[in-house]
Structure 1
Amino acid sequence: MTTKLQVLQRALAAALGEGAAISCALGEVTVVVKAADYAQAMLTLRDDPSLRFEQLLDLCGVDYSTYGEGAWDGLRFACVSHLLSLEHNWRVRVRVFAPDDEMPLLASVTGIWRAANWYEREAFDLFGILFEGHNDLRRILTDYGFIGHPFRKDFPVTGYVEMRYDPEQKRVIYQSVTIEPREVIPRVIREDTYGLK
C-alpha cells in the first residue's frame, strides 16, 4: 500500500531530478537543493502540475555553526522554507545552504511567492543572509543603526552597543556596551535531612 508521503516523494523526485536530496522523517518530507538550483527548484515546486505548491507558509534563516554541539562541519547558513499545496493537500520543507559563510547569498523567491518579501527581510536582518533579486532588502525587526545580526550564534548576548538618554546632550545616544560579562552560578541551599524523609 502506497502512502501519501510516498506519492509526494516520488512526485518530487520526478520533478526535481538528481539535483535534490529528498528525505522523510517524522511524517515530514524535506528537500535539500543546491544554491545554484534553488530558484529553478522553487519555480518547479510551484508550477509542476503533480506538485502545485501554491503557498509559501514560512521562510527562515538558520545558523548551523554550533549544530550538534559543534560537530557540524558543513556550510554555516541555510534558508528553510515550508510550502503548502492546497490542490493536493500536502506540505514540504525546502532547505538550501548558502555556499559562502562569509557572505551568505541566495536567490530571492519574491518573484515566485510575494509572501517571501518580509520573510527574506527577516532572514537578512537576523542572520545576515542576502537575497539576490530582492528589491527592498533592508532591516525589518532591528533598529536602523543596529550593528550585526542578532540570531547568529557568534553574536554576543549583550550586543555591541547600548542606547541611553544623555541629560547633558538632551538626546538619546548610542555607546559601547558597559555591562561586564559575568558567570552566574545559582546558589543551592539544602537541609541536612534533604531527601531522607
Structure 2
Amino acid sequence: MQGLDDSGTWAPTPWGRTLPRSCVGTDPQRYLDHLQLRCKLAAVDQLEQLFFAPVAALFSQHFGLPLDLLSSSDGSQLPGWALREMASGGRIPEHCEQDWNPLNLIENGTLCDVALEPAFQLSFLYGVRSATQGGELQISADETCVPLSPGELLLFNAGCRRHQVLPTSGPELRVVLGGFLRLNRSHTRLHCYV
C-alpha cells in the first residue's frame, strides 16, 4: 500500500500482515509501542479521514448512538480500525471472536476498563482490494460466502457467528480495513477497536 511500505510499521500474522498490530494474543506493551509507529504515518491519517470517519458516522447514525474511541489506562487513544493484507495462500481458520476474548487485551480488561455488552460483538470489513482468487469470508452456520469487493462494507456478528476467510491465490493480495464494533453495557455508546 502506497505510503505504508515501511515493513517496520506492519505486524506479521500467520496469514499476512496488519497495521496496527492486533490486540488479540499480543503483549500489551508491544501493542502500545506498535501504535506509536502507526501514528507517525501520513497515510494512516488519510485512511482515517477517507475511511474510518465516514464509517464511524454511518454506524453512529444507523444505531442512533455516539461512537467513541477507547483509550488505554495510560491515556493513549486506541485505534478504531486496522489495515490487513492477506498474502497469497493465506487463510484465516474458522473461529468466532468469543473464542479469543480471553486473549483480547480490550475484552479481558488489560488495556482499558470498559464494560461491553457480551451479546454485541460485531466485526466490520471494508474491501480495499480483492485477491486474484479466493479470500471470501465464509459465515459457517449457513455457509454464506461474501467476496467483499473493493468499496463494499460488511458488518456481521463475529462474536457469535463462526466464520473463516477462504484461501487466496494469485498476485493480487486481499486487503481490507476493519475492526470490531462494540456496544457498551449500558447501551449508550458504541466503540470501535482492533
Same fold (TM over 0.5): no
- Provide TM-score, normalisation by structure 2: 0.27
Larger Rg: 1
Q: Higher relative contact order by CA 8 Å / sep ≥ 6: 1 or 2?
A: 2
